[in-house]
């Protein structure tokens, strides 16, 4: 009994954030990281299904997908790619600053990461609004504004079924929409982390929450790294042939 008490006291003496079922902080941190990766794996499978649907339909209707993808704004998409990669860098810097105990820097980097995330969402909103203006939102998702692009606007070759072009926009909105939702959740998580950082909850000994939120943020960045070339770039060279 006395021995147990001694162990408990020794345990508590290591760090206040150490949960009783872990030997030490390092083991706790590794278990948390592993758990986060297992969650991210389920996310890989979730987005993987949509990437598979994209692959199948792109190979089935290559011309229609090229026509539809040519209407996306490559400039805005490219800027967003840069914004997200820089935000991943600032996130990595936030984690690093926390690890070395530079509280001020870590808060600045967290705020920068969130600002870049919001920039991404803002640009995405502009793109979505352009699609709304051109009646390119598929089906009847927007009441009173069904999918009805002007064939001239899309450079639609004669005889191409409009439904195949619409299919691209279903996939585009499903994938970028799910990605944007992940971004919104990511900004929400980071705002909580920032508040905790301001309250001084993290230290070189205890920074697992910052690190794990960082893993989530990087994962969302990786999804966009694949979405951008697949949705915006591929088929662009066909524009000349289809004009």
DSSP 12-25: HHH-TT--TTSSSH
Q: How far is the CB of 116 from other proteins (least distance, A)?
A: 14
Q: How far apart are CA 22 and CA 169, in angstroms?
A: 49
Closest CA to 106 of 204, 220, 205, 222: 204
Q: How far is the CB of 161 from other proteins (least distance, A)?
A: 19
b or e along 64-103 (b: 16 or more beta carbons within 10 Å of the residue's beta carbon)?
bbbbbbbbbeeeebeebbebbeebbebbebbbbbbbeebe
Q: Which of 17, 178, 222, 242 binds other proteins (CB under 8 A)?
A: 222
**Closer to other proteins by Cβ: residue 56 or 198:** 56
| Interface mask toward other proteins for 188-217; x: CB under 8 A | -----------------------x--xx--
Binders in 49-68 for other proteins, by CB under 8 A: 49, 52, 55-56, 59-60
Q: Which of 32, 63, 70, 89 binds other proteins (CB under 8 A)?
A: 89
Specify the length of the chain in residues: 243
Q: Which of 69, 80, 88, 176 binds other proteins (CB under 8 A)?
A: 88
Q: Which stretch binds other proteins (CB under 8 A): 9-17, 27-35, 109-117, 182-190?
A: 27-35
Q: How far is the CB of 184 from other proteins (least distance, A)?
A: 20
Quick one: CA dihedral 110, 111, 114, 115, positive or negative?
negative
Q: How far apart are CA 171 and CA 235, in angstroms?
A: 16
**Closer to other proteins by Cβ: residue 16 or 59:** 59
* CA 192 to chain centroid: 18
List the end-to-end C-alpha distance of the chain, in Å, as a whole number.
Answer: 83
Give the interface with other proteins as residue ranges (CB under 8 A). Answer: 30, 33-34, 37-38, 41, 44-45, 48-49, 52, 55-56, 59-60, 74, 78, 85, 88-89, 91-92, 211, 214-215, 218-219, 221-222, 225-226, 228-230, 233-237, 240
């Amino acid at each position: 009994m006395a021995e147990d008490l001694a162990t408990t006291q020794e345990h508590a003496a290591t760090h206040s954030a150490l949960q009783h079922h872990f030997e030490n902080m390092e083991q706790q941190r590794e278990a948390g990281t592993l758990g986060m990766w297992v969650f991210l794996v389920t996310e890989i499978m979730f987005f993987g299904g949509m990437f598979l649907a994209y692959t199948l339909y792109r190979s089935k209707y290559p011309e229609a997908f090229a026509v539809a993808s040519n209407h996306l704004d490559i400039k805005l998409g490219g800027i967003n790619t840069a914004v997200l990669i820089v935000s991943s860098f600032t996130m990595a810097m936030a984690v690093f600053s926390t690890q070395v105990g530079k509280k001020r820097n870590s808060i600045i980097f967290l705020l920068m990461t969130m600002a870049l995330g919001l920039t991404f969402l803002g640009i995405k909103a502009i793109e979505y609004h352009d699609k709304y203006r051109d009646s390119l939102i598929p089906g009847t998702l927007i009441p009173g504004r069904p999918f009805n692009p002007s064939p001239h606007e899309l450079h639609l070759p004669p005889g191409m079924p409009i439904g195949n072009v619409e299919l691209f926009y279903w996939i585009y909105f499903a994938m970028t929409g799910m990605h944007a939702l992940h971004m919104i959740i990511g900004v929400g998580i980071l705002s909580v982390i920032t508040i905790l950082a301001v309250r001084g909850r993290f230290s070189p000994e205890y920074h697992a929450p910052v690190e794990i939120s960082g893993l989530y943020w990087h994962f969302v960045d990786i999804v966009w790294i694949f979405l951008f070339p697949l949705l915006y770039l591929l088929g662009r060279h066909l524009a000349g042939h289809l004009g």
